[in-house]
A and B are shown apart, each in its own frame.
Chain A
């Protein structure tokens, strides 16, 4: 293939095009402002998020698989346990109703846990260096961009799961209950995305990251109350599940499904050691989220110095 290049501009003409008055005055104003502010943070975050959405738009298979997979879970697991005697799963009328909350949380968790993978590929490919050499207001924009993207996907998935559950006869939480469900999903996604990106910066490559995701994902599912209630488990597993953050996301959702009259003081979980109110679940999730974000700070800073 041979393309004839048009003659390039002369040095001086090229220099004039590069050094326009507009860019010069922008650079002068930049020199005067001390630090980048939150507007800069939003600008970089939104641009990174937009990139992820363009990718999704041009490669929609992730979206399709992401929505279909939890629905398959719902149908298959629901069918598997459908003959379990009533009453075994707490107040839920049937297993399908019980399972909805677990699948919502597990799906959001899985999505967020995988958030680090595309960033790891960017890192391996060298694309991430573009972000690292740029004067970002904060490298948390990389985390927030991923979280925003995953959160949007999770919202779609949650809507699909809620709808299918409703069709299968599980009913729906009331409006405020739905708002609470979304808030819980958001908090979980932000916290887990932060952890996943932390791993992305800490681990040597995508093989290791996939390995960690692999050994984290299902064990956390099975040691939470996603598939069975706490009092169904052996004692040791009850202890593990009482400290599994997923439990604190699942139980409030399950509760608002069953109780339209929920309040912050409603008792949503009884562990072997303590009883947990809905408000307490909120506190646990907030701490988890803030803790994850704080935990990865040194990793984000690592290459700054």
Chain B
């Protein structure tokens, strides 16, 4: 079967910035594929190359077996694209914008009418369809944006950070809609830096960092590959470094404990990597009690996608986000996005 999206050794630089260094991904028809990574990792650039908005420096991109570079017009028929920022014409009503969008995809009049009604129903826009989009809240805008993107029932829908800055209700509405799409057989490529979003939605996930794919697979597989469970232990609300160090040395000697690190960013709490066994938590608690050390809070969990990211890059996603904030020139990025090419 032809892959829905095939990316091979994609490379794209903007001036001195290597946005994408080497990305290869295969996205199968009908799956939700999540592209996870911190801001500035190259997610949006990858997507822009898939959506014919940017020209790769090198590498090959195919959508439904059609090469993006040589047949962009055919690729566009198969694609729907939902940008991170919702761009609407605030003077037009939702229905008018949907009519415009239908014409851009050459839907015949009666079919366009039928699709618009179906989309209004599906995304519960009845109340808003005939209001100017300038009056919409962020959530309504996003719902209209989804309606616009799916009007022509593309085989592949690409969404860039679809829930950034949205309220909880809209976020779950977006998720529900994406699940309906998957049930309809639509392939979905979604970028996000929300772990939870990718974990709930995606069949498979690609983790991208500094322009490279560092891990790809089913979320459960990726997490299982790490092995072991995580125990987070806080001695006090704010533990002193000395006390944390004492506990660390003590716990590191337990046979079920593989590794212990002190997380200074979270009040010197201890992060333990332990064998996956039921008594691990009890053993840790007993050890602490025997040594007369206090416990403020303790919890055990399976590895998360963040741990996958941590294992591959040596830092958590949040740390990477924070580190990236100071390095990015958002103004320049916006200019590049406008220029395309």
Could you list which residues of chain A lie within 8 angstroms of chain B, going by C-beta atoms? 1, 5-6, 8-9, 11-12, 14-20, 22-24, 26-27, 30, 35-36, 40, 43-44, 46-48, 50-51, 54-55, 58-59, 123-127, 129-137, 204-205, 302-305
Contacts and interface: CB of A to CB of B under 8 A. Distances in A.
B8 interface: no
Interface residues of B, number: 61
A51 B100 contact: yes
B177 A14 contact: yes
Contacts, number: 150
A18 B184 contact: yes
Contact of A205 (B83, B102, B152, B338): B338
B104 interface: yes
Interface string B113-146: 0110010011010000000100001000000000
Contact of B111 (A14, A22, A135): A22
A137 to B, nearest CB: 8
B53 A132 contact: yes
Contacts of B182: 11
Contacts of A305: 55, 69, 72
B54 interface: yes
B183 A134 contact: no
Contact of B121 (A17, A19, A40): A17
B104 A303 contact: no
Going nearest first, the 10 A-B pairs with the smallest beta carbon separation are: A14-B180, A47-B103, A126-B87, A15-B184, A15-B183, A134-B104, A135-B76, A11-B183, A303-B340, A127-B87
A54 to B, nearest CB: 6
A285 to B, nearest CB: 31
A59 B83 CA distance: 27
B69 A11 contact: no
Nearest to A34: B74
B104 A136 contact: yes
Interface stretch (B35-43, B91-99, B275-283): B91-99
Contact of A47 (B53, B88, B104, B132): B104
25 contacts: A5-B173, A6-B124, A9-B122, A15-B183, A17-B118, A18-B118, A18-B122, A20-B118, A23-B115, A48-B100, A51-B96, A55-B91, A127-B87, A129-B53, A130-B87, A130-B104, A133-B51, A133-B76, A135-B77, A135-B106, A136-B104, A303-B52, A303-B54, A305-B55, A305-B69
Contacts of A55: 89, 91-92
Contacts of B111: 22-23, 26
A204 B124 CA distance: 39
Interface in B267-300: none
B339 interface: yes
Contacts of A46: 103
Interface string B57-87: 0000000000001001110110101010101
A51 B95 CA distance: 12
Contact of B184 (A14, A43, A51, A131): A14
Given A17-B122, A18-B150, 7 more contacts: A12-B183, A15-B183, A18-B122, A19-B184, A50-B100, A58-B91, A129-B83
A130 B118 CA distance: 21
B253 interface: no
B184 A1 contact: no
A149 to B, nearest CB: 14
A300 to B, nearest CB: 12
Contacts of A51: 89, 92, 96, 100
Contacts of B181: 14-15, 18
B148 interface: yes
B227 interface: no
Contacts of A1: 137
B341 interface: yes
A296 B173 CA distance: 43
